[in-house]
C-alpha cells in the first residue's frame, strides 16, 4: 500500500533515504541532474543499477539492470518493501532471496537465470510458456527452434518478427555470425548475417533445420554473461 507518512516529500531520494533510516540502515541513493532530479533516484552497486521513479498516481516505477541486461521493471506501491529491496540490492542479496522476501518485486521471468548463470534455459522456458515481461516471438518458431538441440544451447533473441540466436546472454553482443528465422507471409525465411537470404520454407520446423544446417562448427553453448572482451553497455 502507499505510505502516507512522508508522502508530502517531493524529493524521491530523500524519501527513500528516510525510509531506510526508519528501518535502521543507510541507503546511498543518488539523483540524476536536471529537471527530473526530484522524481528519480538510483542505487549503483557492483551488481548493477536499481532505478526508481515516481509516478503521478503516487506509485513507483522500478528498473533493474545487471551489467548488459535488464532484469526487472514495473510498478510498485510499497515504499517500505522498496527500501528493503534497495538495501538487499546494495548488500548483494541473491535475487531469489529478494523475490522470496518480496514477491511484488517485478523481476523478468529469466532474471534469476541471468544472475545464477542459466539464462539460456530460463529464457527458452519463459518464451515457450509465453511469460509476461519478456521478448516473445512467433510461438511456432520458438517451439520449432527449441526442439533443435544445437539451437537450444544458444541464446534466443526475438525482435521485429525475427528470431536470432546469439553466442552470449548479455549486451553488447558478440559479432553476429549465425543465421536467423523471419516469419514471412506465407512461410518462413532464413537469413545469414547481413540479411542475405539462405532460403524459404513452408514450416517453422523446416526453417529451424535450415538454420542448423548453416551453423558454424563448434557453435555453442552460448556464453553466460558478457562476451569475453566486451565492455559493459551503457544503461
Region 5-11: what's the mean pLDDT?
52
In degrees rounded to 5, what are phi and psi of residue 204? Answer: -65, -30
Region 181-191: what's the mean pLDDT?
95
3-state helix, strand, coil in the chain (%, to 5): 30, 25, 45
Q: Residue 25: is its pLDDT beyond 90?
A: yes
Could you identify the residue written with the cell 515481461?
Answer: 133
pTM above 0.85, yes or no: yes
The mean predicted confidence, pLDDT, of the chain is 92
Q: Which residue has the higher pLDDT, 202 or 235?
A: 202
Residue among 43, 49, 106 at smallest CA distance from 73: 106
The string of pLDDT tens digits covering residues 60-108 is: 999 999 999 999 999 999 999 999 999 999 999 999 999 999 999 999 9
Can you give the C-alpha Rg of the chain in angstroms?
21
Q: Residue 110: is its pLDDT beyond 50?
A: yes
Give the least confident one: 1-15, 45-59, 168-182: 1-15
Per the structure block, which three cell numbers stand in for 151? 539451437
Amino acid at each position: 500500500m502507499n505510505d502516507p507518512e512522508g508522502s508530502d516529500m517531493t524529493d524521491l531520494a530523500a524519501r527513500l533515504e528516510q525510509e531506510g533510516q526508519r528501518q535502521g540502515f543507510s541507503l546511498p541513493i543518488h539523483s540524476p541532474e536536471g529537471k527530473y532530479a526530484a522524481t528519480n533516484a538510483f542505487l549503483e552497486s557492483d551488481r548493477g543499477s536499481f532505478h526508481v521513479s515516481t509516478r503521478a498516481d503516487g506509485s513507483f516505477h522500478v528498473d533493474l539492470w545487471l551489467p548488459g541486461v535488464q532484469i526487472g521493471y514495473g510498478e510498485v506501491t510499497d515504499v517500505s518493501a522498496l527500501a528493503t529491496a534497495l538495501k538487499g540490492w546494495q548488500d548483494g542479496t541473491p535475487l531469489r532471496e529478494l523475490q522470496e522476501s518480496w514477491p511484488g518485486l517485478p523481476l523478468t521471468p529469466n532474471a534469476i537465470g541471468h544472475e545464477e548463470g542459466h539464462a539460456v534455459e530460463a529464457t527458452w522456458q519463459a518464451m515457450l510458456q509465453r511469460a509476461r515481461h519478456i521478448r516473445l516471438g512467433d510461438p511456432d518458431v520458438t517451439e520449432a527452434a527449441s526442439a533443435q538441440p544445437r539451437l537450444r544451447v544458444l541464446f534466443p533473441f526475438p525482435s521485429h518478427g525475427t528470431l536470432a540466436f546469439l553466442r552470449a546472454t548479455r549486451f553488447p553482443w558478440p559479432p553476429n555470425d549465425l543465421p536467423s528465422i523471419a516469419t514471412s507471409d506465407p512461410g518462413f525465411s532464413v537469413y545469414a548475417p547481413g540479411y542475405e537470404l539462405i532460403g524459404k520454407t513452408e514450416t517453422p520446423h523446416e526453417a529451424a533445420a535450415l538454420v542448423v544446417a548453416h551453423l558454424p562448427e563448434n557453435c555453442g553453448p552460448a556464453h553466460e554473461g558478457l562476451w569475453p572482451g566486451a565492455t559493459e553497455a551503457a544503461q
